[in-house]
Each structure stands twice: as C-alpha cells, then as structure tokens.
C-alpha cells in the first residue's frame, strides 16, 4: 500500500513491520502533491489575492496617463576664467566639485526656481496641477468618513507648486557634471515644455544670482573705498607735516642733505684726484726746465700745444740751416754767427713757452688745492647736519611706510572694484543645456502587459503563500503526510464520508467505497498484527466522537460478515455504539463470568456479539470491569472495545495501557481534529506498540 511506502521507520516499528523498506519523507511544503491538495482545498484564498491585485492593476492602468520628459543639463561649477581674479575661484574637477554640483541640484529643485516656472507656464490655471488627483480625493473621502473637517481651499499657485515639486525629479549622473531633470504631466508636449522651462529658469536664475552676488561684493568694496581713501590722506598729511616741521627735504628714499653729502663727497674725491694729477704734471715741467728736455714729451699739455710745435719746427729748421752752413762754409766762417743766433733765439722762445705752460699748470694746481680745501670743509659741515636729522628721518620713514601700506590696500580695493564692475556685465558660467527636452514616446511607468503579469504573479504568490501559511497555523488535520510526519504514527486507514441514509452498520457496509475502506483496514491489521488470535483492538479518539463509534461498530460488523467470532464491547461513557444499535444502556451489577455471557450479550443482526454500555459498573469497579471484558477474549476471534475519548476517559486510558490489548486505533476527523488535541491523546497512550491512526471523512484525501 502507498501508506506503508511513505511511512517513517519509527511508525513501522510501532506496528511491528520493521521488515518493510521505507524512505525519509520530505517536508510537507516540498511535497508537490501535498501542496496541490492544500491549494485545491483553499482555492478561494488562492484566487482572491489574484483578483484583488488584478483589479488594482486595472485601476492603475485606468488612471490618466502620465508622460515624463527629460532635459539634460551640464552644471560646471568651475565656470569660465575671463578675468585674472574671478569672484568665484576656479579650480580643477575633484570630489568637492561634485559636492557643489549636488548643491546646485538643491537649487534647481528649490521653490525659488519652481515658483518662476509655475508663473511662466501658468500652471496655477492648469487643472492637471491644481485639481486633486484620485489619491487626494480618496484621502479626502476617508477623512470625511472619519469625521475630519475638510481642509480649506489652498492657493492655486501653492497647489501647483506642490504638484510640480512632486512630479519633478533631478539626479546627477555618476561621476559627471551632467544632470537629468524629468517632469511628468498628462500631456506629452506639456511635459517637454515644462521640463525645458525648468532648465532654462534655473540657468537664468543662476546667472542672476551670480550677478547679484558680484553686485553686493562691489557695493561692499565701494563702501570701504571712502574710508580707505581718507586713511591714505590722513597718513600722507601726517608724514608731510612731520617733514615740514623737521625741515626734512628730499625724495621718499633720500633727504636733500643726504644727497648733498654724497655729492660733496664725490666732488672732493674728484678735486683731490685732479690736484694730484696737476701736481705730477708740475713736477715733470719743473724737471724738464731744470735740464731734462726729454721729459717734455711725456707732458700732455706740451704735446697738445700748437705753439710748442711751431717753436720746435723753427728750432729744427734753424739747426738744419746751421748744419748746412757749417758743412759748406766751415765753423770759422763769419756767416756762422747768424746761424747760431737763430738757433739760440728759437731755443729761448721754446723754453719761454714751456715755462709759460708750467706757470699755468702751477696756477691750476693751486686752484685745485684751494677747491679741495673748500670741499673738505663743506663735507664736514654736511656730516654734522646729517647726524642731527638722523632720528627725525627714522620717524619720517615709519610714517611713509604707513602711507605706502594704506595706499596699497586702497589701490587693491580700487582695482578689485573696477574688475567686479566689469565682471558683473560678463556671463562666465559654462552651465548649459546639452540635451533639450523632447516629447516622450510612451506613458510613464511599466507597460500594461508587465503590470498585469506582475499583478498576476504577485497575487498568485500571495495566494499560494497565504494559503500555505494559513494551513500551517490552522492546527487542523488535513493531510495524511503531515499527520504521519508530525505524530510518527502510521495512518492505517482512510474512511470516506458516508452517503445520506446510511445510518447503521449494515447499511454502511453496503456502501461501496466505505466497505472497501473498512475491508482494507481489516486486511492491513490482519497482516501487520501478530498471527496469534484473538486480536483485542481498542478504538478511541482525541475529539472524533462520531468517527470513533462508527469505526468500532463497522469494523466488528465487517469481521462478523466473514463468519469471525466477534465481540463488540461498548465501554465508553457516552454509549454511542449502544444507542446506535437501538439498545438502552445496561444498568446493574458487575459483568458476569464467561459462563453467564448470555445474560449480558446482545446478538446483532450482523452476527456479532455486543456488550452494551454499563456506566455504573465501570465507575464502581474499573479494574474488575476491564478484567471481565478482557477475560472473554479466548472465546472469540476478534474483540473490539469501543472506549471514550482518550485523555478524558479513565476506562480508555486503562485499556490503552493494558498489555493484553493487541492494538489501539485512534480516529481523527479530517479537517476538524486538531494536532494539539491529538498530541495530548497520543501522549496519554504512551510509547506502546501497535498504535495506529484512522482518518475519517477523508474521501478526498490522497
């Protein structure tokens, strides 16, 4: 049988069938057959989420279509370096520059920019941006149901601003200055127009903000120029007053007294050099006149004198004439006297001219020496004056340094103000639109087919998962596989639900599927239980009252139809078997011995012997009652004892623990019995062998 093949080894050991092979069962949620049965049983909980999500998807698709248009901007915070010193310092792109781009994203999405877009595109009069959407109307309806007061009508411009903020998105592309700006609306052209307007408005706003920032900086510098100019004038006035007071005349770097001192020093040096040169020339002339004429050639004044040259020429000519006369006439000729006179005259004239030059040089030397003396006296005087004005000049230079410092700051502010004035008129921004907004080709969101498929898959997942979770937490017994795995007990039989009109054992056994199930159960027990007879079988349950009594009566009746000697004992407290066969409960003394069974036995029309319920005797002598029942087993082939609910009936627990009992059958009502109740019942039975389960009302199981 399929039941034996799927049973765990522990279950087979309980039935003494350890010789059969078995495999470890899978968890119930991995058994596709088990999962399929659960889903068929809970088909409504599977289909309902699918229908709900498909309805939501259809409602989503029925909403007015939204179209998203995208414009791409290049936001370069570095700008264009037109001037040497820009108002905004330029630099290379780095991580901090990317942070500036992210900051510009906040500016792009700010209310300042969006308000201008709302005004330029007249969104305050556009129903798509002013009228409440389906979600807003739903919220208002829920608020009305909850008794909340309706919110007052908002400003249309403010409503349009909020709607535009919700429908606009901006993101920077990774590791770049490019920014995507998307705007959605119910019209393709309008989406592109608004997205383009957002980008253009941002660029215009940035240019205006930059110009405004430069203007404020320039005004701040202008306000400081007057103060700086006054400071420079005050410093210059203080320096000039100090110079006048201390009679300090001169340039910024040098006083007139210092200049004169330097000039006098230079003049004195030149005068001394000239006097020394003239003194050397005078000595040469005096040496030449004292008998060394050759020295005249080393005197520059002699060499440059034209008179000396002429006289030398005359002397040379006179000497040639005398030499010629001496050669032709002789030394003693009277004509030689005239030649000697001419030579002496020329030589005397030459010496007189040399003496005249020497006298002139002597006069110049004396004048130079007088000039040296005068310059030396003037230099000493200037030195004394310079020492007097030294301390005043130090103070003057300190005042002049203050003038220079203030003048430098003033000039820097003045130049920067002029630069900012020019820069305010220039657009140095390199941010621009690199991809204008175009009307989108399809609506925003996933395609309808994907939405429906996703809703179908999600609904199926929720339905299946919810059904399995509900099955897990319901606690009811609905699966033979889970029952065997949970209790480690074998399900020996599956009894289907009886058709209407089958009220007693004979009628029930005439119903085909039910009779087959009872016969299969008997054959199974006949095979698995020990061969030694008789078999004493206790039928009990945890909470299945009807199934317990039905199984006991029909099992005994089926065995009796096969000519077995069967004894059915109704030992339950409720006496359901006794009432089912139409007998009243028996009341009286203890059960007689074996020889007196005729006094208590009732013969059923199926051929089995029945001991009706005897509640008074059972309560007065429990042990004697049980021993009397089990003492009659040798006279029968099969003894079926119908007891009360295990865990709530003392006779049931006493018989379930008696070693003379061959097997204990516990009925479980499919779909009604609970695992918690069954676990307590099996715990009350304890670890005895040959304990099996029988599922009743299980015609659709497996």
pLDDT in tens, 609-667: 888 876 555 555 556 666 666 766 667 888 888 888 887 888 888 888 888 888 999 99
Say yes or no: 629 and 555 in one domain. yes
Residue 148 to residue 440: CA distance in whole angstroms = 40
Give 136's pLDDT tier (boundaries 50, 70, 90). low
Mean pLDDT of 97-108: 82
Reply yes or no on whether the pLDDT at 458 is more than 60: yes
Reply yes or no on whether the pLDDT at 295 is more than 60: no
Split into its structural domains, the chain has a count of: 3
Q: Is residue 680 domain-resident?
A: yes
Query: Residue 592 carries which DSSP code?
Result: P
Specify the pLDDT at position 618.
Answer: 54
**What does the chain come to in residues?**
702
Residue 560 to residue 539: CA distance in whole angstroms = 17
3-state DSSP call for residue 382? helix
Specify the pLDDT at position 607.
Answer: 75
Residue 57 to residue 60: CA distance in whole angstroms = 5
Residue 353 to residue 345: CA distance in whole angstroms = 12
- Which of 435, 462, 492 is where one domain is finished? 435
pLDDT digits (tens, 9 = 90+) for 572-590: 878 888 888 777 665 554 4
Chain CA centroid to CA 663, Å = 68
Specify the pLDDT at position 508.
Answer: 63
Residue 384 to residue 389: CA distance in whole angstroms = 9
Say yes or no: 212 and 91 in one domain. yes
Mean pLDDT of 480-495: 84
Which token pair is 503? Answer: 């009220």
Residue 643 to residue 635: CA distance in whole angstroms = 21
Residue 129 to residue 190: CA distance in whole angstroms = 12
Which CATH number covers residue 195? Answer: 3.30.1890
Query: Residue 168 carries which DSSP code?
Result: E
Percent of the chain with pLDDT over 90: 3
3-state DSSP call for residue 95? helix
Contact indicator for 665, 694 with CB cutoff of 8 Å: yes
Say yes or no: 400 and 518 in one domain. no
pLDDT digits (tens, 9 = 90+) for 44-89: 888 898 899 888 888 877 777 788 889 988 887 765 554 555 545 4
Specify the pLDDT at position 5.
Answer: 33
Specify the pLDDT at position 7.
Answer: 38
Contact indicator for 554, 508 with CB cutoff of 8 Å: yes
Q: Is residue 119 domain-resident?
A: yes
Specify the pLDDT at position 302.
Answer: 63
Which token pair is 16? Answer: 């003494």
Mean of pLDDT over the chain: 75
Give 595's pLDDT tier (boundaries 50, 70, 90). very low
Report which listed range, 25-29, 93-97, 144-148, 274-278, is most confident: 274-278
Reply yes or no on whether the pLDDT at 509 is more than 70: no
Residue 617 to residue 651: CA distance in whole angstroms = 11
Q: Is residue 59 domain-resident?
A: no
Give 254's pLDDT tier (boundaries 50, 70, 90). low
Mean pLDDT of 30-53: 79
Residue 580 to residue 606: CA distance in whole angstroms = 14
Q: Is residue 38 domain-resident?
A: no
Packing angle, helices 306-329 and 336-423, rounded to 10: 160
Reply yes or no on whether the pLDDT at 598 is more than 70: no
**To which residue do tokens 């004198």 refer?**
305
Mean pLDDT of 294-317: 66
User: 16: cis peptide before it, omega within 30°?
Assistant: no
Packing angle, helices 111-121 and 188-245, rounded to 10: 130
Q: Where does residue 463 rank: exposed (0-12), middle (13-18), buried (19+ CB within 10 A)?
A: buried
Mean pLDDT of 457-485: 81
Mean pLDDT of 401-412: 81
Say yes or no: 397 and 494 in one domain. no
Give 280's pLDDT tier (boundaries 50, 70, 90). confident
Say yes or no: 269 and 209 in one domain. no
Rg (CA), the chain: 68
When mean pLDDT is compared across 190-199, 310-319, 336-345, 498-507, the lowest value belongs to: 498-507
- Which of 435, 468, 488 is where one domain is finished? 435
Residue 10 to residue 491: CA distance in whole angstroms = 13
Instruction: Label residue 647 left, alpha or beta by phi (over 0 means left) and psi (-120 to 50 means alpha).
Output: left
Q: Which residues contact 507 (CB under 8 A, 6 or more apart)?
A: 501
Say yes or no: 275 and 419 in one domain. yes
Specify the pLDDT at position 664.
Answer: 92
3-state DSSP call for residue 438? coil
Say yes or no: 313 and 210 in one domain. no
Specify the pLDDT at position 141.
Answer: 66
Q: Is residue 224 domain-resident?
A: no
Residue 296: Cβ within 10 Å count: 20
Query: Residue 633 carries which DSSP code?
Result: G
Say yes or no: 193 and 289 in one domain. no
Q: Is residue 662 domain-resident?
A: yes
Residue 452: Cβ within 10 Å count: 17
Which of 640 and 396 is assigned the larger pLDDT?
Answer: 640
Reply yes or no on whether the pLDDT at 124 is more than 80: yes
Say yes or no: 399 and 331 in one domain. yes
| Nearest 10 degrees: Cα torsion 590, 591, 593, 598 | 130
Residue 113 to residue 183: CA distance in whole angstroms = 14
Reply yes or no on whether the pLDDT at 255 is more than 70: no
Report which listed range, 345-359, 382-396, 434-448, 546-560, is most confident: 546-560
Contact indicator for 140, 170 with CB cutoff of 8 Å: no
Q: Is residue 162 domain-resident?
A: yes
Say yes or no: 286 and 344 in one domain. yes
Q: Is residue 25 domain-resident?
A: no
Rounded to a whole number, what is the distance in angstroms from the first to the last CA of the chain? Answer: 12
Say yes or no: 209 and 271 in one domain. no
Say yes or no: 583 and 653 in one domain. yes
Which CATH number covers residue 642? Answer: 3.40.50.300
Contact indicator for 550, 518 with CB cutoff of 8 Å: no
When mean pLDDT is compared across 39-48, 85-94, 425-434, the lowest value belongs to: 85-94
Sheet of strand 602-603: strand arrangement = 491-495, 691-696, 663-669, 535-541, 638-645, 566-570, 609-611, 602-603
Residue 112 to residue 106: CA distance in whole angstroms = 11
Q: What share of the chain is helix, strand, coil (3-state, %, to 5)?
A: 60, 10, 25
pLDDT digits (tens, 9 = 90+) for 181-234: 999 888 889 889 999 999 899 888 888 877 777 777 777 777 777 777 788 788
Mean pLDDT of 467-471: 78
Report which listed range, 207-211, 259-263, 522-526, is most confident: 522-526
Specify the pLDDT at position 666.
Answer: 92
**To which residue do tokens 């969006």 refer?**
114
Domain that includes residue 296, residue range: 256-423
Our CA angle for 331, 335, 337, nearest 5°, is 75
Mean pLDDT of 275-298: 65
- Which of 423, 455, 486 is where one domain is finished? 423
């Amino acid at each position: 049988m399929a039941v034996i093949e799927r049973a765990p080894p522990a279950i087979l050991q309980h039935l003494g069938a350890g010789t059969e092979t078995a495999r470890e069962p899978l968890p119930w949620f991995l058994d596709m057959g088990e999962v399929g049965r659960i889903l068929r049983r809970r088909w409504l909980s599977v289909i309902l989420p699918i229908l709900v999500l498909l309805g939501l998807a259809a409602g989503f698709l029925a909403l007015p279509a939204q179209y998203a248009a995208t414009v791409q901007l290049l936001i370069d915070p570095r700008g264009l370096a037109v001037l040497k010193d820009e108002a905004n310092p330029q630099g290379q792109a780095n991580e901090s520059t990317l942070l500036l781009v992210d900051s510009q994203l906040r500016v792009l999405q700010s209310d300042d920019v969006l308000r201008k877009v709302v005004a330029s595109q007249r969104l305050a009069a556009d129903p798509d941006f002013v009228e409440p959407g389906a979600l807003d109307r739903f919220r208002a309806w829920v608020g009305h149901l909850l008794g909340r007061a309706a919110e007052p009508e908002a400003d249309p411009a403010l409503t349009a601003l909020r709607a535009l903020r919700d429908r606009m998105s901006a993101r920077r592309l990774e590791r770049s200055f490019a920014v995507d700006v998307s705007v959605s609306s119910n019209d393709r052209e309008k989406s592109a127009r608004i997205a383009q307007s957002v980008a253009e408005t941002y660029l215009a706003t940035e240019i205006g903000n930059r110009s405004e920032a430069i203007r404020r900086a320039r005004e701040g510098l202008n306000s400081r120029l007057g103060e700086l100019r006054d400071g420079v004038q005050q410093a210059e006035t203080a320096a000039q007053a100090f110079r006048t007071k201390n009679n300090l005349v001169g340039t910024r770097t040098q006083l007139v007294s210092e200049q004169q001192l330097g000039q006098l020093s230079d003049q004195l040096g030149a005068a001394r050099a000239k006097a020394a040169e003239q003194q050397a020339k005078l000595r040469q002339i005096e040496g030449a006149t004292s008998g060394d004429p050759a020295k005249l050639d080393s005197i520059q004044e002699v060499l440059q004198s034209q008179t000396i040259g002429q006289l030398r020429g005359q002397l040379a000519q006179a000497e040639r004439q005398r030499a010629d006369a001496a050669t032709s006439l002789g030394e003693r000729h009277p004509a030689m006297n005239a030649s000697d006179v001419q030579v002496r005259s020329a030589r005397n004239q030459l010496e007189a001219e040399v003496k005249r030059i020497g006298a002139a040089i002597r006069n110049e030397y004396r004048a130079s020496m007088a000039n040296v003396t005068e310059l030396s006296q003037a230099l000493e005087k200037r030195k004394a004056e310079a020492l007097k004005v030294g301390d005043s000049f130090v103070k003057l230079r300190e005042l002049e340094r203050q003038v220079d410092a203030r003048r430098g700051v003033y000039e820097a502010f003045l130049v920067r103000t002029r630069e900012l004035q020019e820069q305010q008129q220039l657009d140095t921004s390199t941010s621009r639109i690199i991809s204008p907004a175009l009307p989108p080709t399809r609506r925003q969101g996933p395609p309808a087919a994907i939405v429906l498929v996703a809703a179908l898959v999600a609904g199926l997942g929720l339905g299946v998962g919810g059904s399995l979770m509900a099955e897990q937490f319901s606690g009811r017994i609905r699966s033979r596989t889970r029952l065997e795995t949970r209790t480690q007990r074998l399900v020996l039989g599956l009894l289907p639900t009886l058709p209407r009109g089958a009220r007693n054992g004979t009628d029930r056994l005439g119903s085909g599927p039910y009779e087959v199930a009872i016969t299969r159960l008997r054959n199974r027990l006949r095979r698995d239980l020990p061969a030694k007879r008789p078999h004493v079988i206790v039928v009990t349950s945890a909470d299945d009252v009807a199934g317990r009594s039905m199984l006991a009566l029909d099992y005994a009746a089926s065995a009796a139809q096969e000519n077995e000697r069967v004894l059915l004992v109704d030992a339950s407290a409720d006496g359901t078997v006794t009432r089912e066969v139409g007998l009243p409960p028996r009341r009286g003394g203890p059960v007689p011995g074996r020889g007196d069974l005729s006094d208590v036995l009732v013969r059923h029309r199926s051929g089995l012997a029945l001991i009706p319920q005897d509640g008074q005797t059972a309560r007065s002598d429990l042990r004697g009652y049980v021993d009397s029942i089990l003492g009659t087993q040798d006279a029968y082939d099969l003894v079926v004892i119908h007891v009360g609910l295990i865990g709530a009936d003392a006779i049931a627990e006493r018989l379930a623990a008696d070693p003379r009992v061959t097997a204990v059958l516990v009925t479980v009502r499919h779909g009604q019995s609970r695992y918690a109740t069954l676990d307590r019942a099996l715990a009350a039975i304890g670890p005895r062998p040959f304990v099996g389960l029988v599922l009743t009302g299980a015609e659709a199981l497996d």
